[in-house]
Amino acid sequence: MAKVIVTAALPYAYSIPHLGNFVGSVLPADVYYRYLKMNGDDAVFVCGSDQHGTAGEIMAIKQKKTPEQLSEELHEVLKTLFKQYECAFSLYGKTNTETNQHTTYEFFDALNANGYIIKVGGTLPYCEIDKRYLPDTFIEGTCPNCGYRRARGNQCENCGKLLDPDQLKDPHCRICGKKKITFRNVISLALALNKLQDKIRAFIDKNSKNGWSKNSINKSLSYINEGLQPRAITRTTKWGFNVPLEGFEDQSIYVWFDAILGYISITKDWNKTKWKDYWLDKKTRLVQFMGKDNIEFHALMWPGMLIGSDLGYVMPTTIRASEYLLSSGLKFSKTSGTGINMQNAIKVLEADYWRFTLMHLYPETADTEFTFDGMIGVVNGVMNDNIGNFVNRVLKFSKDNKDIIDVKAKPIKKYLDQADKIIENYKSSFEDFALREALQRVVELSVLGNSIMGNYQPWVVAKKAKTDKEASAELSEHMITLVSIVYKLGILMWPFTPSASKKILSYFGITGDPSLKDIEAKIKPDLGGEITPIFKKLDSSFAKNFQK
């Protein structure tokens, strides 16, 4: 059995992620990983806090803390948050560790020895007020590509284009807010992507057929067609790992370089020996989830590092980049405060509701709009009226009529065949990385159950079944069929709504994680206890919880 490594782009440890962050990387990765485990695959799921960002350094300055202190505080908050959202990481780690430093130096030394780290001259902005250099996010201005006025010196979060600080129009320092900036000549170290371009293209041509999202293919190839340029891997700042090369003691390793290597180092921290079974086995599949603003790092720079270092680590098999979740026409953004952050959301409503709604809206192939009215419609119409109501009606009716329902009756084949077809389509959707479609298959199964129950109307037949053996046998067949569908539904829901899945399966005596191989198991529901609703409805005042 081939091993699988699942990763999600590492959240920045300087603020609370918003729902757009969550649905763009961590949530779909978690859903996919849960499916793999349910399917019996040998998989590991790693993620962690990206701690060395300059945005965190700026935030620390404003809060009069050290960058390390702030990032550690936020790391603990993030760990708690993801646990509340029931994310099933093998390990949620972090990048400011000895393991990641060792891994970073391992790659740096190998790339340098192979001739892929070069010295480059350039200019860096220097704030004459604060008397310091302003690398990447320390400087802000207008994007030369799309005109967005809050672009940073490393990337425009609006259009996703990678930038250098001197490309910004009308820039200002983010510490003092002043525009008294000069550009000074600096010698830095860079990854010679131009030397690796042909090998990176060959890698994309070979692997992009393995379920890559279209945007990850198109965007990476467009950069290659423009011609890859050396990308700085050191910067003039003290927050980060020191550069292990004489003459560059005043610089640190660029955050993007050590953050990507966090996938490897976090797996090492998960298990000091077993990590090799995954990362050094060429048969391992590496499946990576991210937002579209992370494509360049994962489809170009990361493969370039792996190829150029020649250390034998697994190459990415599948790169899944989501589009944006929009809020009132604007991309969810930590910078501008657009959207709802994960901390506020979980205080108001349990994880299952957010997980289901966000995956229902998952911007898999196109930007998707999030509204409170839309969420209320999903929760009330799909989760409650469709899934929850079906489960509750079947189990309650079965309990109330247990004296006339023969639990040994055989389910009706034609309905089970329909259910099995839906389940096969569910599996196919996951194999094709169509996670939003997989959730629709879950809904489709509940629609089938509701249709059977609505057409048959067992509550009408039950009156006759008390005295008529033929009616009793017919009722038993239908109810065993419906109970079987409830059971199957409970299993299929697990990747999306773990708590609701466990609650449904608890009526069948299942306490551990469900398995797809048990979906055809003989079942005997235990309906002795109270049967309570799976979900609850939201009223129109729900949105007021998020109003300032």
List the domain boundaries for the chain: 3-114+197-225+253-348, 371-518
| % residues pLDDT > 90 (the chain) | 79
DSSP state letter for 529: S
Q: What is the mean pLDDT of residues 528-538?
A: 92
The crossing angle, in degrees rounded to 10, of helices 98-113 and 262-270 is: 130
Tell me which CATH code domain 3-114+197-225+253-348 carries: 3.40.50.620
pLDDT at 1: 74
| pLDDT greater than 90 at residue 153 | no
Structure tokens at 165: 């600080």
DSSP letters of 344-402?
HHHHHS-HHHHHHHHHHH--SSS-EEE-HHHHHHIIIIIIIIIIIHHHHHHHHHHHHTT
| pLDDT greater than 70 at residue 286 | yes
pLDDT at 441: 98
pLDDT at 211: 96
pLDDT at 119: 96
Question: How many other β-carbons are positioned within 10 Å of the β-carbon of residue 57?
Answer: 25
pLDDT at 100: 98
CATH fold of 371-518 reads Isoleucyl-tRNA Synthetase; Domain 1 (1.10.730)
Q: Which residue has the tokens 């680590």?
A: 313
Q: Mean pLDDT score of the chain, rounded to an integer?
A: 93
pLDDT tens digits for 130-140? Answer: 888 887 788 99
Structure tokens at 53: 């960002």
Q: What is the mean pLDDT of residues 23-37?
A: 98
Sequence-separated (6 or more) residues with CB below 8 Å from residue 501 = 490, 491, 493, 494, 514
DSSP state letter for 26: I
Sequence-separated (6 or more) residues with CB below 8 Å from residue 382 = 356, 360, 443
pLDDT at 338: 54
Kindly indicate the confidence band of residue 543, based on its pLDDT and cuts at 50, 70 and 90.
confident
Q: What is the pTM of this model?
A: 0.92
Helix (H, G, I), strand (E, B) or coil at 141: strand
CA separation for the pair 386, 447 (Å, rounded):
7
Q: What is the mean pLDDT of residues 358-387?
A: 95
Kindly indicate the confidence band of residue 230, based on its pLDDT and cuts at 50, 70 and 90.
very high
Is residue 432 within 8 A of residue 211, CB to CB? The reply is yes
Sequence-separated (6 or more) residues with CB below 8 Å from residue 327 = 20, 338, 339, 340, 369, 370, 371
Is residue 283 within 8 A of residue 2, CB to CB? The reply is yes
Q: What is the mean pLDDT of residues 95-106?
A: 98
Q: What is the mean pLDDT of residues 30-36?
A: 98
| pLDDT greater than 80 at residue 249 | yes
- Nearest alpha carbon to residue 353 among 28, 32, 86, 81: 86
pLDDT tens digits for 313-335? Answer: 999 999 999 999 988 655 555 55
pLDDT at 523: 85
CA separation for the pair 187, 232 (Å, rounded):
10
Q: What is the mean pLDDT of residues 499-503?
A: 97
| pLDDT greater than 60 at residue 94 | yes
Is residue 58 within 8 A of residue 137, CB to CB? The reply is yes
pLDDT at 125: 87
Structure tokens at 454: 């609505």
Question: 4 - beta bridge partners?
Answer: 43, 285
| pLDDT greater than 80 at residue 187 | yes
**544 vs 94: which has the higher pLDDT:** 94
